[in-house]
Chain A
Amino acid sequence: MRFILRRLGFYLIAFWVSITLNFLLPRFMPGDPVSRMFARTQDRMQPEQIEALRKLLGVDDRPIWEQYVGYLHNMVTGQMGVSISRFPTPVTEVIASQVGWTLLLGGTALVIAAVVGNLLGILAAWRRGGAIDSALPPLLIFIGSFPYFWLAMGALYLFGVTLGWFPIRHAFSDTIEPGFSWEFMSDVGMHLVLPALTIVLVSVGGWMLGMRNTMIATNAEDYITMAEAKGLRPGRIMFRYAARNAMLPSVTSFGMCLGFVVGGALLTEVVFAYPGVGYQLLNAVQGLDYPLMQGLFLTITAAVLLANFLVDILYVRLDPRVRAN
């Protein structure tokens, strides 16, 4: 319990630091949202309208510490304000309307990559020098070291455009009414295949290699030899004795990744025109949309910290040594 409380305190401080950075960083960037909007629309906006727009969007001219106090207050009370680039839509609404697709895509890809990667890692380490161990790691690392968007564009071109097996854009067909129907779900599934597949392909190698390496170390432990000497079934030794102990680093990185899923897979979303938050974040940064940026970063920070906290708790369950401390 003391452990958990201490961790909780640490997370609160980390949270404060990150929301403060979140506040400061965008304000170090030159310009303000209205001049950015003006620069982007170029000849389409009238100069006389700029002052009015500034007032309309509520561009803050208060001293920075006053803005900071107001910002902290809003963060604590959960008021994220109105998006500037999507004015007058509230930030919460902008995020809520898109974060679902991001979570679906990122979550599916992460779970598949982690499960498959870890299993392959376990098998590879268990049969060291076997077919899986010698062929897969170099192949997966080879694939994984391709620039991500190259792989995505390649898959899109080959499977989407040339072969026509999978749709080439969006999260579902425009012609289908969203709802809990089999037709809609399978359509979403089809649209998910290519983007998720490319993320899995790129990330699975890392999971496998990480697992394999810790597993090899664990395999050399005395308790494994002991278990073998006792004549336990190999499968039981592999999963219950070796893999369980080798899993801890994987659980940590799974937690980290889980948090970052919220930020969106920017390049995937851009290449496959997937309606997630990634492109919105890029837009917010480019348009100096402080409220939306803060909202998105806050969501990401909170998700990363929350996921880590959950992992910490899970650790207590998985690793008795943590409890002893």
Chain B
Amino acid sequence: MTQARFLRSARIAAAGLAIGALALTGCSANAGNTGSAKADASAKSALLTIPREDMGTFVRNFNPFAPTVTPMTQQAIYESLLVYNPANGDTTPWLASEWTAAEDGKSVTFTLREGVKWSDGQPLVPADVVTTFALQKKIKGGYDYLDTVTAEGTNQVKFSFKTAWSPALFDLGQLSILPDHVWSKIADPEKDPNEKPVGTGPYTEVDTFQAQSFVLKKNPNYWQPEKQKIAGIKMLAFAGNDGANLAAANGDVDWAPQYMPNIEKTFISKDPDHRKYWFPPTGSMINWQLNTTKAPFNDTDVRKALSMAVDREQVTKIGMSGYTKPADCTGLSGNYETWKNKEVQDNCEWTKLNVDEANKLLDKAGYAKGADGKRTLKDGKPFEFKISVGAASSDWLSVADVIAQNLAEVGVTAKVDSPDWAAVVAGYETGDFDSGIVWSANDPSPYKYFAGMMGTSTVKPVGEKAFENYHRFGDPKAEALLTEFAAAADEDKQHDIADKLQEEYSAVAPAIPLFAGPEWGAYNDTRFTGWPTEENPYATLSVRAPTTVLVLTSLEPRA
């Protein structure tokens, strides 16, 4: 414990200094030539260089079932049936050329794309998909709604469900497909390191593999050879953001997906013509979750009043360096932009700063202010509680600090409690916490998000471990809507129900939405062009998302 604490404090201190040192590099004028990426004489053979900031070393393990798989396995080596892009809401058919959902919503049939080959030359067949799902269910679980997966004809796969289950499309469509002819021969698929992966992706050939870096080269049998314009991908290992940020500032990497403090100064300013960043708010909604099994958080008026006391502009500006925007009362992040109910969005009251109204609401709810300006609960105790955040997340800590300051103005005392994340999450899981800053589900369909926010089926009693709906809020009306949503095969109908879900969300305020998590991403186009931007959001700048393959197949060396 002490060792851990020492190490952690040392690391935090180091991180602080690193930021300082980076700021220094940003200030100095003579950073000069190091700024422009060392342009290779032969741009054609240049490798797309990407840092990985949370792995000090790589272990050769391309098994997609491993919890910590080698980076790029699910992005460059294996591909999925379809790719959903949260930045513009588009769905791109990928290994499947088309799909049809049954009228009753109880099955989906995917048609595999013609001419797709594995990197060893074998064609993609329906058995590959069947085997993949069999392995996935056996090793990693989930997909409880799935009844059977069957090959139909030579190029179709039919997924049948136990009951109608409309969120299944993206759930099924985004799983990386593995080759049956390889994986059916692997004796122990959960533990096999899969050192020589066979995939359908654009960059499958492991060229050199070192603990500190590795290179993936072109798949010789790729199904869209015209899109393999870069020679290969090189991943660099870094033990923490600092090293990766230095490499980015120094122009040694082309793509910088990690968080950079003060990015304008540390990264962009050295070469503004070539260096760009884009943080679309497509991450998960970050909420301030109140434990609704405890008084006074079980009172909707209290939750709304506390929400109105929070200055979200200040939260995003101070806590998140202005990299994201405040949430509204639909509770949906930018990931669900196409699902938003405009009417609800335009009439948001309880997610806007309004100290007077917050005071009024709290007075009305029966939490009167004492002579010292502090409120008391109904049992006479002071209105006081903790906001739990993991110590490692410095950005969220300052978010919690801002909230605590805001609350003081309405006579409520909040204390920021910041032990290690593990301790915080252990409290969330068993329901032994007051409130906390928590992420939420982020899927193409808002089903899981709303189920985890206010579905009754996800509520676990205090003491029993929960892995979603930590705040333990269940609303029968929302549950009925969710059931209806799951059964709706038609997308227009899903949108109608999603509109109603947002109305319900706004009415009951299950949690206090703060801001959408930004998807970090910056790039340097000295060597490669064709990056996604705000004007051309064909993907996000994430290197771990399903959309990464879209970027890999769009980039080309600078002529």
Contact = CB atoms under 8 A, between A and B. Distances in A.
Interface string B415-439: 0000011111110010000000001
Given A29-B1, A266-B7, A285-B4, A46 B390 contact: no
Interface string B39-59: 000000000000000001101
A273 B283 CA distance: 28
B14 A85 contact: no
Contacts of B3: 25, 285
Contact of A288 (B59, B238, B422): B422
A50 B140 CA distance: 8
Contacts of B236: 169-170, 174, 273
A52 B423 contact: no
Contacts of A51: 141
A275 B236 CA distance: 11
A41 B441 CA distance: 11
B421 A174 contact: no
B246 interface: yes
A88 interface: yes
Contacts of A273: 56, 212, 236-239, 243
Nearest to A100: B211
Interface string A236-278: 0000000000000000000000000000001101111101101
A127 interface: no
Contacts of A47: 467-468
B69 to A, nearest CB: 9
Contact of B57 (A84, A88, A97, A272): A97
Interface in B415-472: 420-426, 429, 439-442, 467-468
B240 A270 contact: yes
Nearest to B21: A153
B141 A48 contact: yes
A38 interface: yes
A200 to B, nearest CB: 19
A288 B422 CA distance: 9
Nearest to A149: B14
A89 to B, nearest CB: 5
Interface in B199-253: 208, 210-213, 215, 234, 236-240, 242-243, 246-247, 250
Q: Which residue, B21, B34, B423, has most C-beta atoms of chain A within 10 A?
A: B21
A162 B24 CA distance: 11
B154 interface: no
A52 B140 contact: yes
B197 to A, nearest CB: 15
A223 B3 CA distance: 46
A150 B19 CA distance: 11
Contact of A89 (B10, B59, B141): B59
Contact of B144 (A48, A82, A156, A271): A48
A161 B14 contact: no
A177 interface: yes
Contacts of B68: 85-87
18 contacts: A28-B1, A29-B420, A30-B420, A36-B425, A38-B467, A43-B440, A43-B441, A44-B544, A49-B142, A53-B141, A88-B191, A98-B211, A149-B18, A154-B21, A157-B25, A275-B57, A282-B8, A282-B239
A177 B7 contact: no
A273 B54 CA distance: 11
Contacts of B210: 174, 178, 275
A298 interface: no
A88 B56 contact: no
Contacts of B190: 56, 88
Given A43-B441, A49-B140, A25 B10 contact: no
A39 to B, nearest CB: 4
B61 A86 contact: yes
Interface in A1-55: 25, 28-31, 35-40, 42-44, 46-53
Contacts, number: 198
A308 interface: no
A280 B57 contact: yes
What is the interface residue range for chain A against chain B?
35 or more
Contacts of B25: 157, 161
B439 A42 contact: yes
Q: Which residue, B28, B61, B142, has most C-beta atoms of chain A within 10 A?
A: B142
Contact of A270 (B139, B239, B390, B423): B239
A57 to B, nearest CB: 7
Given A31-B425, A273-B56, A170 B212 contact: yes
B61 A89 contact: yes
A161 B34 contact: yes
A42 B284 contact: yes
A170 B51 CA distance: 12
Interface of A: 25, 28-31, 35-40, 42-44, 46-53, 56-57, 82, 84-89, 93-94, 97-98, 101, 147, 149-150, 153-154, 156-157, 161-162, 164, 168-172, 174, 177-178, 266-267, 269-273, 275-276, 278-283, 285-286, 288
B16 to A, nearest CB: 9
Contact of B237 (A49, A53, A275): A275
B208 A279 contact: no
Given A31-B426, A57-B67, A170-B212, A161 B250 contact: yes
B11 interface: yes
Nearest to B247: A169
Given A48-B141, A87-B66, A269-B239, A161 B59 contact: no
Given A270-B56, A279-B57, A281-B7, 5 more contacts: A40-B421, A48-B144, A88-B66, A169-B236, A271-B18
Contacts of A147: 13, 17
Contacts of B247: 168-169
B232 to A, nearest CB: 12
B56 A280 contact: yes
A178 to B, nearest CB: 7
A89 B211 CA distance: 13
A97 B56 CA distance: 12
A183 to B, nearest CB: 15
Contacts of B237: 170, 273, 275
Nearest to A169: B243
B56 A283 contact: yes
Contact of B21 (A52, A157, A276, A281): A157
A146 to B, nearest CB: 11
Contacts of B242: 270-271
Given A42-B284, A43-B442, A269 B56 contact: yes
A171 B429 CA distance: 41
A157 B24 contact: yes
Contacts of A285: 3-4, 7
Top 7 nearest A-B pairs (CB, nearest first) are A52-B141, A279-B56, A47-B467, A279-B239, A31-B422, A88-B191, A39-B425
